[in-house]
Structure 1
Amino acid sequence: MNFFQITHVVRFTIVQAICSTILALLIGLPASFFCGRRKFFGRKFLLSLSVVPFCIPPLIIALGYVTFLGLNGGLNHFLMFVFGLKKPPVQILYSFFGLVLAHGFYNFPLIMKNVCDTWENLPSGAAETARLLGAKEIRVFRTVTIYQLLPSIVSSSMLVFIYCFLSFILVLLFGGVGISTLEVEIYKAARASLNFNKVAILATIETIILCIIIVLYSFVEQKSLRLKELNVYYMNEKKSISGMLEFLTFTVLVFIIFLFFIFPLAGIVFNAFTSSKTANAFNLSSFSTIFRMKSFLPSVKSSVLVGLCTGTLCTIFGFVYVAILKFIEIKTEKFRILLKIIPMLPMTVSSVVVGVVITMIVRRGNPFWLIFAQAILTLPLSFRVIYPYIEKIPFNTMDSAILISKNKIDIVFRVMIPICAKGLVSAFGFSFAVSVGDATLPLVLAIPKFDTLSLFCYRLAGAYRFNEACAAGLILGFLCVFIFTFSNINFKKKKSGDIICIL
C-alpha cells in the first residue's frame, strides 16, 4: 500500500467523520434549543432518543435504513405508489451521502442531550443584562449564549466524531465503490490479504489521531461539566413555542427526525412482522424461520452470557479505578484531568485493531478474549457513569469513614458501594447493551462454533434475508433496551439525567 492510498483512506475517514458530525450538529442543536428552552408535547419522548446510540446497536440502525431507505424500502414503495413511478426515486443509501446520513442521525441525540442539559442550566445574569441594554434575542445568542454553550457543543461534537471515525458495521454495510475507512481497511488487510505491515501502519495512524482527539476532548469536557453543575436558581423558565419562524423550524425539524430516524426504526418492526412471500401481510413467519435455525438459540445464549460477563467485569474495572482516584489526594487540576484521561485511553484503540491483535497473539479467538476485550473497550462508558457518584461523596464523609473504619476495604463496602450502587447498576446496563450489540469483535475474532445474536443478525443481512434479519434485530434491540431500562428503572429522576455522565 503506497503513500497515496494511505493518504486517501485517512482523508476519507476524517472527511466522513467531520461531515457526519456537522449533520449531527445541524439536527442536534435546534433540537437542544427546543428541548432546553421551550415547552411542547413530546419533549420527553424526544429527549428519550438520547439512549438510542447506547442501547440500540449500529447493526439495527443499518437494518432500519435498508428497510426504509433502500431500493426496496418503504419510502421508495410509497413514492412509487403515489406518483406512479417505475424505478425507485431514492437511491442515496449505498453512497457517501447515505453513510453520512446514517452516522449523523444515529448520533445527533448525543449532541441534543448534552447541549440541552447545559442550556437548561445557563445563568441568566449576562443575558438579562444584554437585554436591558437593548440587545435583541439574536444578538444575545450571538454574543452571550453561544459562548456559554461552546464547551458542551465542542465536547459532544468530539464524541460524535470519535464514534463516526471508528464506525465499522455501518461502513461495511453501506460502503459503496471507493468507500472505505481505516477500520474497514484494517479488517480487510488482516482477514483477506493477511498484510500485517499494512495493519500496523493504519492502526498506528488511527491511534495517533484518536489520542490527540481524546486529550483535547478531556480538557474541553472538563469545562463543559462546570457549566452543567451551575446552581438551578439561575435557570430560565421554559416558554411555549411562539412566532411563525419558531413554529416552522420546529415542524421541519420534527419531520426530518421522523423521516430519517423514527421511520427507519419503525421499518424494522414492520419488516419483522411481514414477509415478501405473503404479500407483506402481517404474520410471524420471519420469527418462525429464525427459531427453526440451529444457530439462533445458541447465539442468544452466547450473547446473554458474554453481555453479563462483560458488564460485570467492566463495572468492576470502572469502580476500582474510580475508588482509587477518590483515595488519592490530587492537588492540581491538570493532574486530575490526566488521571481521568487514563480510563479513556481504550477509545484510542478500535475494536477491529484489538480483534486483530488478539488473533495475532492467540491465533484463534475464544469467548474469554471476547469478554476481556469488550470489558476493556467499554471501560470509558463505565468510568463516566460511576465517576460522578463517587466524586459527589463529601470530603467530611470520607474523613469520618477513614477515622472509624479499619481499612480502606471497609470504606469501600460501607460507604462507596452503597452511595454509588445506582451508578454501578447503570454502568452494568450500559456495558451489557454495548457488549450484546457489538458485531465487530465477534466478526474479527471469528470464534469457531460461537455465534452472538448480533453476528447472527449481520449474517442474515449479508445474505439479503432482511425480514429474518429484522426479526432477529428486533429481539436483539428488545434485549438491549430491556436490560438498559431495567438498570435505570429505580433511579431517582435528575435534571441532567444519567446519560450525560458519559458525555
Structure 2
Amino acid sequence: MFYKNKQKGRDTRPDRVSRPSGLLNVGRLVLPLGGLIFFLVLLSFFLPLILSFVPLFSSRFDFSYITGVKSSFDFSQIFRIAAFTVSQAFFSAALACTVGFAAAYFCARKNFRGRKFLMALSSVPLCVPAIIVALSFIIFFGNNGILNSFLKSLLNQDEPPVNFVFSMTGVIIIHGFYNFPLAMKTISQVWERLSEDEPNAALLLGASKFRIFKTITFPALLNSIAVSFLLIFLFCFFSFIIILLFGGLALTTLEVELYKAARTKLDMNLAAKIALTEISAALILILIYSNLQKKMKVQNENLKGRRERSAIKGFGQKIFFSFTIFIIILFLIAPLFSIFLHSTYNVNYTSIFNKFFYFKAWKNIFLSRTFWTALWTSIKIGVLTAIVSLIASLFFAYITVFYNLRKIYAVPYLPLAVSSVMLGFGWLLLRPNGTELILIFAQSSLAWPFAWTQIQTSLLRIPQNIINAAVLLSPDKKTAFFKVIVPMCKKGIFSALAFVFAISTGDASLPIVLNIPRFNNLALLIFDYASSYRFVESSAVAVVLSLMTGFVFFLQEKEI
C-alpha cells in the first residue's frame, strides 16, 4: 500500500490523508492566530491580577483623598466580612448539594415524566444570568410579589406572610436553588453508572437497604458530592449581583466590599487587601477541587455502563419525589416563570381580569432606543467573546492533544479562583475607564475554561487509536487536528460557543466595575430598571435576555 513511484519520483500512497490547499491555508493562519489570541487571553488574566496587588506595596494608588472617605477598616473588620462570606457560601452550597442529591437519586435511578427537563436545568447556573434569578425572586417572593399578593388576599391581611428575601436566609435560598442543578448533574452522572454487584451481594447476605446505602452507595458518591460542593461554594463565595441586590446595608461580602472600596471610596489599598484575602482562600479550594476532580476522573473510568432505571414505586418514594419536585418548582421554576407573567403586569388594574397580559411595558421597551442599543451591544460583545474564547480553547486543545505537558493542565482551573470584580479591579488600576475591547478579553479570560470543558468532553470521546491514525496518515499535526479532530468535536464546539455567549451576555459584574463610558447591555439595563423600581420593564427586558441565553437549556435537553 505504501510505495514510491520510481518513474515519476512522487509519493503515490493512496491511504495517506490528502491535504487540500484551502484547509492547509486555514491551518497555517488559524494556528498562529490561535496562539496569539490564547496569549492575549492569558495576558488579560494575569496582568490585571498582578496589578490588583500592587497597591499593597505602594501609596501611589491611594485616591481616597478625592472622595474624602478614608476607610477605617482593619483586619478584624475584614475578618468579620470574610466570615460572613464563607458562612453564606457554605450554607448555600450545603443546601444546593442536599437538593441536588435528592434530585440526582431520581434522575439516576428512576424513570418519570419530565426527567429530561429536570436534567436540562443543569444549564441554569451558566445560561441564566444571576441578575435574572435575583429579579425573579423579588417578583415572586417580594413583599408585593406574586406569592405574597396571593397569600395576603387569601388570608385577608396587610403584612406579607413571606418576607425572607432581603436577609441571609434569602441569600442562601437563592444561591442554593440557583446552583443545585450543578450538584444534581455531577452526582447523577456517577450514580447512574455505579455497579450493582456489591449492593446485590450485600442484599443477599441480609443487609438492609439503608445499610447498603450508608456503607456502599454513599461512600462511592462522596467524591462527586465534594466536587459539587466546592464548585458551588466558589460560585457563592464570589457572588456579587445577588448580594448587591439583597444584602442591603446589613449584609455584605468580600466581593461587594472590594467593589465599594475600589469604586466608591477609591481606597485601592483596602481593595488590594480584600483581593488578597479572596484569592488566598479561593486558591486553597481550587487545589482541593482539582485533586478531587482527578480522583473522580479515575473513579469514572472504572465505572460500568448506565444501568436501567425503574419506575417510582411505593408510598414513601412517591412522597419524597413529590416533595423534591414541589420545592424545585416553588424556589426555581415558578420564580423564573413569574418574570414573563410580571412583564405583562398592569399597574393600573381595576380587577383580577385585567391585572395581567397587558403589554404596555413591552411597547415601551420596543419603542426605546436605549433597549435596542443595549440589545445590539449584548449580541456584539457576546458573539466576539464567544469567538475569542473558542479560539483560545481550541489552541489549548491542540497543545493538550499533541504535547504531554502536565503543568498546563492546571491553567483552566486558575480563573475559578478569581472573580470578575477582582479582575475588573486590576483593569481599573490599569485604565480607570474601560473599553469594549478590554471587556471582551476580560470576559474571555474568565469564560474560556467553560468553553474548554465542552471541547474536552468531545475530545475524551474520541478513541486514542483514531487520533494516532490521524497523525500517522496526515502530513503534519495541524492537518490531523483541523481535518479529523476538530470535525469530531463539532458538538462540543457549538456547546462552547453557546455557553460562553450566554455567560457574556448575562454578565453585569464586569461592565459595572470597568465603568465603560456610554456602555449599556441588557444585563445592566435590567439592573438599572430594577434599581429604579421599574420591575415591569425590567421583567420584559429579562424575558428578552432569557430567550437569548436560554437556547443553551434546550441544547442540554436535546443531548440528555
Question: What does 1:253-332 correspond to in 2, within 5 Å?
Answer: 253-279=324-350, 280-329=355-404
Aligned to 1:423: 492
1:42-78: CA deviations, max 9, x gaps? Answer: 2222112111111111111011100000000011111
Q: In structure 2, how many angstroms separate the alpha carbons of the residues matched to 1:141 and 1:339?
A: 38
d(CA) in 1 for partners of 2:460, 2:336: 37
Note the 1:378-417 alignment, pairs <5 A. Answer: 378-417=447-486
The C-alpha deviation readout for 1:355-390, integer Å capped at 9, x for no partner, is 111121022101000000000100221111111222
SS in 2 for 1:277: coil
In 2, Cα distance between equivalents of 1:251 and 1:485: 23
- Paired AA for residue 111 in structure 1: A
Q: Is the Cα contact below 8 Å between 1:122 and 1:230 reproduced in 2? A: no
Preserved CA contact (<8 Å) 2:120 2:554: no
Residue pairs, 1:70-109, within 5 angstroms: 70-109=142-181
Other structure's SS at 2:550 match:
helix
CA contact (8 A) 2:141 2:148 kept: yes
Q: Does the CA contact (< 8 Å) of 1:326 and 1:391 recur in 2?
A: no
- Range with bigger deviation, 292-301 or 187-196: 292-301
Q: 277-286 vs 122-131, which deviates more?
A: 277-286
What is the alpha-carbon distance in structure 2 between the residues aligned to residue 285 and residue 30 of structure 1? 42
Matches of 2:464 and 2:330 in 1, distance apart? 50
Look up the SS of the partner of 1:258 in the other structure: helix
Residue 366 of structure 1 contacts residue 447 of structure 1 at CA under 8 Å; is this kept in 2? yes
Separation in 2 of the partners of 1:230 and 1:477?
Answer: 39
- Say if 2:120 and 2:556, in contact at 8 Å, map to a contact too: no
How far apart, CA to CA, are the structure 2 residues paired with 1:41 and 1:396?
A: 39
Residue in structure 1 matched with residue 119 of structure 2 by the alignment: 47
User: Is the CA contact (8 Å cut-off) linking 2:386 and 2:501 kept in structure 1?
Assistant: yes
Count, aligned residues: 484
Cross-structure match for 2:277 = 205
Map of 1:247 onto structure 2 = 318
User: 2:238 matched to 1:163?
Assistant: no
CA distance in 2, matches of 1:64, 1:90: 15
Shift in CA distance, 377/341, structure 1 to aligned 2, threshold 3 Å:
same
Q: What is the aligned counterpart of 2:440 among 361, 368, 371?
A: 371
SS of 1:276's equivalent? coil
Give the match for residue 79 of structure 2. Answer: 7
- Partner of 2:364, secondary structure, is helix
Report the equivalent of 1:438: 507
Aligned residue number for residue 130 of structure 1: 202
Distance 1:229 1:284 in 2: 53
Distance in 1, matches of 2:186 and 2:259, equals: 33
Determine the structure 1 residue equivalent to 2:34: none
The aligned counterpart of 2:47 is none
**Residue of structure 2 equivalent to 1:353:** 422
* Structure 2: stretches of 5+ with no match in the other structure: 1-72
**TM-score scaled by structure 2?**
0.84
Q: For the aligned residues, what is the CA RMSD?
A: 1.6
Runs of at least 5 residues in structure 1 that lack an aligned partner in the other structure: 498-503
Read off the aligned partner of 1:272 and give its amino acid letter: S
Q: Do residues 219 (structure 1) and 291 (structure 2) align?
A: yes
Cα shift at 1:232: 4.4
Q: Is the 8 A contact 2:339 2:539 kept in 1?
A: yes
Q: Name the larger-Rg structure.
A: 2
Could you give the per-residue CA deviations for residues 109-132 of structure 1, whole angstroms, max 9, x where no partner exists? 111111111111111111111111
Identity across the alignment (%): 38
Deviates further, 397-406 or 299-308? 397-406
- Residue 450 of structure 1 aligns with an amino acid whose one-letter code is F
Cα deviation 1:434-492 (Å, max 9, x = unaligned):
0000010111111111111111111101111000000000000101113x267669x7x
The amino acid of 2:387's aligned partner reads T
Tell me, in whole angstroms, the C-alpha distance in 1 between the residues paired with 2:207 and 2:547: 50
Trace 1:118-197 onto structure 2 (pairs within 5 A). 118-197=190-269
Q: Give the TM-score normalised by the residue count of structure 1.
A: 0.93
Give the conservation status (yes or no) of the 8 Å contact 1:425–1:487. Answer: no
Counterpart Cα distance in 2 of 1:172 and 1:412: 45
| Alpha-carbon distance change, 25 to 488 in structure 1, aligned in 2, over 3 angstroms | closer
Q: Which amino acid aligns with 1:19?
A: F
Q: Deviations over 1:189-227 (max 9, x none)?
A: 011000000111110111111111112111111222334
Q: Could you list the per-position Cα deviations for residues 149-208 of structure 1 after superposition, in whole angstroms to 9, with x for gaps in the alignment?
A: 111111111111111111100000010332111110000001100000011111011111
| Cα distance in 1 for residues equivalent to 2:117 and 2:440 | 33
Paired position in structure 1 for 2:60: none
Is 2:59 the partner of 1:59?
no
Give the aligned partner of residue 4 of structure 2.
none
Name 1:500's counterpart in structure 2. none
- 1:467 equivalenced with 2:542 (yes/no): no
